[in-house]
Amino acid sequence: MKKTFLMLAIVLSAFAACTKESLVENAQNPSSNFTFKCELPATKIALGEKEGNIYKTVWETGDVLKVVKASDNTELAVVTLSEGAGTSNGTFNVTSGTLTAGDEVVLVYGETSIPAVQTQAAAGECDLITSAKSETVTVTEGVPVPFTLSHEIALVRFEVSSTEFAGLELTSVMLYSEGSVLAGSDSDNVRVNLNAPSALSGKQEAWLAAMPVETATDFYAVATMKGTDKTVTIPVKFENKTLAKGKVNVIKLNNLTIESNACPEWYEPVETRDLMDGYAYGAENTYMICSAASGDTRMNVVVKARGDFSKVSKPTYYGFIMTNDKIDWNRKFLKFTDGHASQDTYDDTKKNFVPSESHTIDANCSFDVLSVDMNTGGATYSVVAIYNADKDLIWSFMFQRYRENDPPCDVYYSDLGVTVLDRALGQSNGRANLVSHTESGTLNSYAAYFQWGRKDPFPAMSQTDYNNGKQPNMYGKYRPDGTVAENKTTAGDHTSTIENAIRHPYKAILCSTTNNWMQDIPNLWGGVNNTNGWFDPNGVGHKTIYDPCPAGYRVCDGRVINEVVTKASRWERYSIHQREQEYDHPTYFGGSCLAYSIDGQPLDEEAGTNVDYWLYSGYSRAAWGGLYNYFATLSDQGGLYWTNALCSNGQPGMYQFNFPNGSGKMSMVGGNTGASTLMAVRCQKI
């Protein structure tokens, strides 16, 4: 008679930590004071006391194994420990499924795939992902079937200490080896996050499970430490090492310092901006550069990587990129040292611009740009990208020029106790020129436009420009999923990722259903999810690596823009000396603006010295065709500005200085358009 149950006895000779193997410590630097504390759920296997260099392991009540067919891994049954709890031998009974005498099977314990991101409750504690399996055995009727479990993974124990960073908390440790498979099906890195990090005042332990690597290779062990004002990431290189399965592979990161950095020529360990578990290059995303009265102005830009070490590479090339090859906005005032001042070639097969071989980033991980004299070229900003050795675009930077007699300056809003930059990003005139009464039409000073959460600008456009095909090279032409739409104005049906946005800074990313370029868009500009209205009444916020503002500034929070909308006056300027409030033409070429009194005194329409200008950044300039804006019409125009915040409805926070129906009255709209909308950005001092 065929049996529908089976008694299985287990003989354990090799099984891993937090599973059922005798674990041999495989230390690179053996330590006599090694300790291991393992707090496990009831369905895991506990460790006994360490004897010499071996960890004893014992079964726990409730431990289960899967029984799979040896030929194709089809699961046949589940067996549960019935005898042997607290010992290294156990007997298992079938608790579900059916086995038949003669079946050739393999018994499996734990996970079959190792996640690339694991968690540990705190330093010194572990709850490890484990995986082990037996050799092939034959099911025999009426007698227990002995088998041996072999561990399928390597366990890694990190020892981390630092005197230099003793005040910082150890938050994660990562193992990275380019070309190796350490987790999942193809991940070349595996990381453990500490849910309750503590300061590095003493040596700490962190554990992770990894796929074994039997061929000697190079590894980077990367410790990340955080304080209230900075994140420190230290990669340490270990050459020609293996990860033995069934072993505790010990990696010591003792007394970490800045000098421990394995790649000092191109990797920066310290970052004061919020990395948001991502990566970046350079210390800021927008550089202000002077166009002098005569001659060129040279600027050196250091573009070292920082953040997630597994996702960065050494910067090798640099080059100009453009929002569209038909648009001439982003050049003419900026050039490289060899005189190159035009965009690089766009490669349709690579879906990228290709830099020149001669534009190589130097040994200091920097390159030079030259701003021509202020009388040459009409552009306000330019965009330069950097590339790795394979000429893959890895980051990009905005360069905004200013006239020698109009340097960027701070404007103090006394009612708020907040300081803002005197111009929007990409705006050609700052406050010094706007109040000088020396130029006609200076209020018609175009800004750059940004999708919420992205660091890269898009150009202003007129309706004629748009109708003539001068538009952002948007997804819709190349959607995030790689398909090609029928025309450039068709939005894609797929949202993107932040990494995809970084690789394609010249493409506006559209989604036809949500008007968001990213699904469940995170807080990329460091604001908050507001529950009290759609602006941040407390002004909280912080600088992130995706913030487009220059160093020392961040995107304005909602209370700044709300202050302006609430207290400013509407001005129209259509001659050198004449401004008129409540003017009934919302699109007059001289420029619409909101005039805000920066010292609380009545606005002086002639002197203007106490005035800060929030310029019209019109719907027609940013969004002809309704691609980026679902509420404005030609008779409902005004200033479109982002805030840094996410709103209570989950949408990014924006403000429209709305001049409805030519009435000169202002209204506000917030949080209803989606992150794909193109709007201007004004910056607030940190």
Q: Which helix (H) or strand (E) holds 423?
A: strand 418-424
573 and 633 fall within a common domain: yes
Q: What is the β-pairing status of strands 154-160 and 247-253?
A: parallel
Identify the three-state secondary structure at position 48: strand
Q: How many helices (H) and strands (E) does the chain have?
A: 5, 43
In this structure, are residues 526 and 641 in contact, taking their beta carbons and an 8 Å threshold?
no
Q: Which two tokens stand for residue 177?
A: 């080896």
Mean pLDDT by 10 residues, the chain (686 residues): 28 31 37 25 43 67 88 90 78 84 87 84 67 83 77 86 94 95 92 90 88 94 94 97 86 95 98 95 96 87 98 96 50 82 75 88 96 75 93 95 90 91 88 61 68 84 50 43 42 66 81 65 76 46 94 88 75 49 43 74 65 68 37 46 69 50 42 68 93
438 and 581 fall within a common domain: yes
Tens of pLDDT along 113-157?
788 999 888 776 655 656 778 889 888 877 778 877 777 788 898
Residue 386: inside a domain, yes or no? yes
Residue 330: φ, ψ to 5°: -95, 25
136 and 253 fall within a common domain: yes
Residue 267: inside a domain, yes or no? no
68 and 171 fall within a common domain: yes
Residue 511: inside a domain, yes or no? no
Q: How far is CA 543 from the centre of its chain?
A: 13
127 and 14 fall within a common domain: yes
232 and 360 fall within a common domain: no
* Residue 649 DSSP class: T
If you compute the radius of gyration of the chain from its CA atoms, what whole number of angstroms results?
31
Q: Which two tokens stand for residue 227?
A: 């304080």
CATH no. for residue 370?
A: 2.60.40
Measured between alpha carbons, how far is residue 441 from residues 402, 429, 575, 584, 663 in Å? Answer: 17, 11, 7, 17, 22
* Residue 544 DSSP class: B
- Predicted pLDDT at 618: 54
Measured between alpha carbons, how far is 494 from 518 in angstroms, rounded to an integer?
9
Q: How far is CA 344 from the centre of its chain?
A: 26
- Predicted pLDDT at 284: 97
Instruction: Count the domains in the chain.
Output: 3
Residue 270: inside a domain, yes or no? no
Q: Which helix (H) or strand (E) holds 502?
A: helix 498-503
260, 292, 319 - which closes a domain: 260
Identify the three-state secondary structure at position 6: coil
196, 231, 260 - which closes a domain: 260
Measured between alpha carbons, how far is 627 from 647 in angstroms, rounded to an integer?
22
Amino acid at the residue 467: N
Residue 495: inside a domain, yes or no? no
Domain that holds residue 666: 425-471+521-686
- Predicted pLDDT at 138: 87
- Report the side by side order of strands in the sheet with 334-336: 297-302, 366-371, 334-336
Measured between alpha carbons, how far is 175 from 214 in angstroms, rounded to an integer?
15
Residue 487: inside a domain, yes or no? no
Measured between alpha carbons, how far is 594 from 224 in angstroms, rounded to an integer?
45
244 and 292 fall within a common domain: no
397 and 448 fall within a common domain: no
- Sign of the torsion angle spanned by Cα atoms 606, 612, 616, 617: positive
Measured between alpha carbons, how far is residue 486 from residues 283, 434, 489 in Å? Answer: 39, 44, 9
102 and 133 fall within a common domain: yes
351, 377, 405 - which closes a domain: 405
Q: Which two tokens stand for residue 423?
A: 């111009």
Residue 27: inside a domain, yes or no? yes
Burial 400-425 (b: 16+ CB within 10 A, else e): bbbbeebebeebebeeeebbbbbbbb
Residue 167: φ, ψ to 5°: -85, -5
Residue 500: φ, ψ to 5°: -65, -40
298 and 447 fall within a common domain: no
Q: What angle do CA 416, 417, 420 make, to 5 degrees?
A: 90
Measured between alpha carbons, how far is residue 395 from residues 72, 454, 684 in Å? Answer: 45, 12, 24
Q: Of the candidates 3, 12, 23, which has an alpha carbon nearest to the alpha carbon of residue 91? A: 12
Q: Which two tokens stand for residue 673?
A: 């358009």
Q: Which two tokens stand for residue 140?
A: 């025999």
Measured between alpha carbons, how far is 552 from 494 in angstroms, rounded to an integer?
35
Measured between alpha carbons, how far is 71 from 173 in angstroms, rounded to an integer?
38
Tens of pLDDT along 208-265?
889 999 999 999 999 999 998 899 999 999 999 999 887 788 999 999 999 999 999 9
Measured between alpha carbons, how far is 462 from 618 in angstroms, rounded to an integer?
10
Residue 22: inside a domain, yes or no? yes
Q: Which two tokens stand for residue 542?
A: 């912080």
In this structure, are residues 233 and 269 in contact, taking their beta carbons and an 8 Å threshold?
yes
196 and 54 fall within a common domain: yes
Q: Which two tokens stand for residue 364?
A: 């200091």
